[in-house]
Amino acid sequence: MYQMKDAFEHDLKVPCSVLGDGQFGSMDDDGHRSIKRMSVGMVQTLMSRLEQSTIEKQFERLFESKSKANDKVIAAQRKAGVSKTVLANLIDKHSKQMTAAAKPMMAEATKRHREQVAIREQTIRLLAIFEFVILEEAHESSGNSFFEVLRHCKNANYRLALTGTPFMKDDEEANMRLMASSGPIAIKVSEKLLIDRGILATPIFKIVDLKTSPPKLHRSSPWDAAYRIGIVDNVERNLHIADEVVRASSYGLSSMVLTQHKRHGDILLDLFEAKGLRAEYIQGADDQTERKKALYKLATNQIDVLIGTTILDVGVDVPAVGLIVLAGGGKAEVALRQRIGRGLRCKKRGPNIAFVIDFNDPFNNHTKNHANQRKQIITDTEGFGENIVPRDFDFRALGFERKVA
């Protein structure tokens, strides 16, 4: 959202309002909120404002919140080993408190309901104003939230949907929602066309053959165990990732390592730091400021490698990245294309090339099948498949020089 806002204001000189991250429009000198000529918004914020409220629903939330607080107190007392009599008295006390609080909670629920009804009506009126809607990452329209927001943009006769992965959901109903939101594909631009024109960097892929099966990983191990043992805790795999990042750094290339599990990122962060790399790790819990700061450090060569969870799958533009490591496995085509895309922005310095590393993960039926599906997607994509190296990257032949120590 903020990247779009900055781009519109910088490139088009069009002032933008923000609808998300705790903001809803701009405050004028009289203390009234107003909307500028263009707005950038988050679907989650708009959906929360469009929620259909009832007094009963608001009461249930208040009751559940108070009950959870009481349950924590009781659990703490039980853990402390208090007697059954003390515990019974505490439960009885809380029960009476809940009964006594019912009337005030109903009054508060009624108040919150009226406030939410007003917010919903205000949001519906706002959405009806827009005549032109740009759907960034338009494949997300296949979800109910995006679809519901667009349903209220009843005067948006002009819609520009942008996505690198249209109609690729396994669920046909989800694909139909995208069609309903934005219509059919009007213009298709291939990866190869963008690569040939230099708009995207040329990707060079290496798929690493792992040699040693981790202990306790079997071909028939269930998915959860296979992922934990074969990917997250796989020493050979993680050491290879660290070595590849060290090597890329020696050629002046920054790296982005994409994981799916938080603990995997923690393991890799420790490995990178042990090898003397300047590394940072961002995840869903980090706020916008922290994410932006970390991306800026990567772009300005203040760090060598940035580890990220799925938070980096979409909406991140980092032209500085020279190496993408697909550390997290998985098989989803949409996610794979998005992760590869993190490194394909046109390079501002040096050869317009991005290096991408994946793994074959051969020691379990699940991980092997997922790896084969990822490889097939790369192989079948024109502009990608012809750039899989048989053995290793040849940085020098591609125009990169080692940094002087």
For the segment 139-150, the average pLDDT, to the nearest whole number, is 77
Q: Is residue 64 part of a domain?
A: yes
Q: How many angstroms separate the CA atoms of 355 and 248, rounded? A: 9
- Domain-located, residue 398: no
Report yes or no on 228 lying in a domain.
yes
- Quick one: 271 and 306 in the same domain? yes
Residue 233, Cβ density class (10 Å: 0-12 exposed, 13-18 middle, ≥19 buried): middle
289 and 152 in a single domain? The answer is no
pLDDT in tens, 168-192: 777 788 888 888 888 888 998 999 9
Report yes or no on 405 lying in a domain.
Answer: no
Are residues 132 and 88 both part of a single domain? no
Task: For residues 220 and 293, state if they share a domain.
Answer: yes
In one-letter notation, the amino acid at residue 370 is: H
CA geometry: angle at 123 spanning 118 and 129, to 5°? 135
Query: Domain span at residue 261?
Result: 195-387
Classify 257 as helix, strand or coil: strand
* Its pTM surpasses 0.85: no
**For residue 87, what are the contacts with CB-CB under 8 A and spacing of at least 6?**
74, 77, 78
Give residue 309's pLDDT: 83
Quick one: pLDDT at residue 75?
86
> Is 170 inside a domain boundary?
yes
CA distance 232 to 260: 9
pLDDT band, residue 259 (cuts 50/70/90): very high
Kindly state whether residues 379 and 240 are assigned to the same domain. Answer: yes
Beta bridge partners of 320: none
User: Is 402 a member of any domain?
Assistant: no
pLDDT, position 80: 85
Poorest-pLDDT segment among 13-27, 315-329, 339-353: 315-329
Give the whole-angstrom CA distance, residue 162 versus residue 188.
10
CATH of the domain at 34: 3.40.50.300
C-alpha 298: how far from chain center: 18
Same domain, residue pair 330 and 301:
yes
Number of domains in the chain: 3
How far apart are alpha carbons 106 and 111 in whole angstroms? 9
